[in-house]
């Protein structure tokens, strides 16, 4: 019987066990692929490839990314050399109605929004309405399609991180973007969120658009030096650096992923060893007969070959002594 046929016959010998083993291996390898993908993301998180994304700097508190900064820092940043545009930004993890799905939302200065996102496609009239009206909002087409929103709708979204605080927005535009990372945003005015919060005049971050990549290293140092002696010092980073450091604040996630991946590999080895042991245990009798046959066949073969050789030698000897 060919080797493949022998292997196939043994696989279907116990179909339930073979099916469960294959399913366990498939789940284990799927987990490994997921963990390796997550590890790769942590090593090099994706960043926007827009024309100006490599010119954006993010200013946050040096102690924690969630510590607010005084909005008065903006004027001092704008006076620094190499700065093209600045806006204060508050992330707002919006929930619509009773859904648990987060709508990534930004509250910022509408006057510079399209300076940071020049690739967003929105009618000029919608842009003017958005900038003019304090409670106006614009949303990505994918998000609008998901929730059935249309231009002119009144939207109420809330955030559990703001103690369930909600904002009532008038949808004035639906934008299109070629960048995958920008196809789900809901954007509204920072001034409006500041009023809803009770006018604390603080912000989560500042986004800075630099004039060129050459000035970014010196601009980063200048910003942090400007606020080094303030009650809330700053840490200025590129977008990719900010994402990497924000993930690191969550803990040593990479070590956890490596540890769990090692446990999965060990589980795969255990599954293989257990399957082999069960197969051998079920065929103990067959293996015993096979071993017995092999152990008997070897000496029998040796004795038969020896007898055949001896008989031939005796015959040759007698032939040699015959008279000529």
Verify that 125 and 244 share a domain, yes or no.
Answer: yes
Verify that 36 and 90 share a domain, yes or no.
Answer: no
**What is the rounded CA–CA span in Å between residue 322 and residue 95?**
113
Residue 45 domain-assigned (yes or no): no
Question: Domain tally for the chain?
Answer: 2
Which of 248, 264, 283 represents a domain boundary (last residue)?
248
> Of 110, 242, 76, nearest to 189 (Cα)?
110
The two structure tokens encoding residue 95: 């929930």
> Of 111, 240, 121, 103, nearest to 160 (Cα)?
103
Verify that 86 and 214 share a domain, yes or no.
Answer: yes
**Which range of residues forms the domain containing residue 286?**
3-40+255-320
- Sign (positive/negative) of CA torsion 263, 269, 273, 279? positive
DSSP string, 248-261: HTT--HHHHHHHHH
**What is the rounded CA–CA span in Å between residue 26 and residue 151?**
47
The two structure tokens encoding residue 139: 């949303």
Residue 47 domain-assigned (yes or no): no
Residuewise pLDDT in 10s, the chain (324 residues): 566 666 666 666 777 777 777 787 788 778 878 877 776 766 665 555 555 678 899 999 988 878 899 999 999 999 999 999 999 999 888 989 877 788 989 999 999 999 999 889 999 999 999 999 999 999 999 999 999 999 999 999 998 877 678 899 999 999 999 888 888 899 999 999 999 999 899 999 999 999 998 999 999 999 999 999 999 999 999 887 776 666 666 666 667 777 887 888 888 788 777 777 777 776 666 656 555 555 555 555 554 554 444 544 444 444 444 454
Which of 226, 248, 270 represents a domain boundary (last residue)?
248
H-helix segments, 113-160: 113-116, 124-132, 141-147
pLDDT value of residue 247: 62
Q: What is the pTM of this model?
A: 0.66
């Amino acid at each position: 019987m060919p080797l493949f046929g022998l292997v196939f016959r043994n696989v279907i010998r116990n179909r339930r066990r073979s099916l469960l083993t294959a399913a366990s291996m498939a789940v284990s390898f799927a987990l490994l692929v997921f963990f390796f993908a997550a590890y790769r993301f942590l090593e090099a998180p994706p960043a926007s490839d827009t024309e100006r994304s490599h010119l954006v700097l993010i200013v946050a508190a040096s102690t924690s990314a969630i510590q607010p900064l005084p909005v008065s820092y903006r004027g001092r940043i704008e006076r620094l050399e190499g700065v093209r545009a600045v806006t204060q930004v508050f992330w707002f993890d919006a929930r619509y109605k009773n859904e648990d799905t987060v709508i990534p939302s930004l509250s910022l200065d509408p006057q510079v929004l399209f300076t940071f996102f020049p690739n967003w496609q929105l009618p000029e009239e919608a842009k003017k309405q958005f900038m003019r009206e304090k409670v106006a909002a614009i949303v990505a087409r994918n998000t609008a399609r998901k929730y059935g929103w249309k231009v002119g709708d009144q939207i109420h979204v809330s955030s559990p991180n703001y103690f369930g605080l909600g904002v009532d927005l008038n949808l004035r535009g639906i934008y299109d973007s070629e960048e995958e990372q920008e196809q789900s945003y809901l954007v509204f005015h920072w001034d409006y969120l500041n009023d809803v919060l009770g006018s604390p005049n603080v912000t989560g971050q500042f986004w800075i658009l630099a004039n060129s990549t050459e000035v970014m290293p010196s601009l980063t140092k200048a910003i942090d030096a400007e606020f080094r002696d303030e009650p809330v010092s700053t840490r200025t980073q590129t977008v990719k650096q900010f994402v990497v450091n924000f993930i690191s604040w969550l803990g040593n996630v990479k070590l956890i992923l490596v540890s769990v991946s090692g446990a999965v590999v060990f589980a795969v080895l255990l599954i293989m060893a257990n399957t082999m042991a069960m197969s051998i245990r079920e065929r103990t009798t067959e293996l015993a007969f096979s071993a017995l046959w092999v152990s008997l066949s070897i000496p029998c073969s040796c004795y038969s070959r020896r007898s055949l050789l001896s008989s031939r030698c005796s015959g040759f000897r007698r032939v040699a002594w015959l008279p000529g």
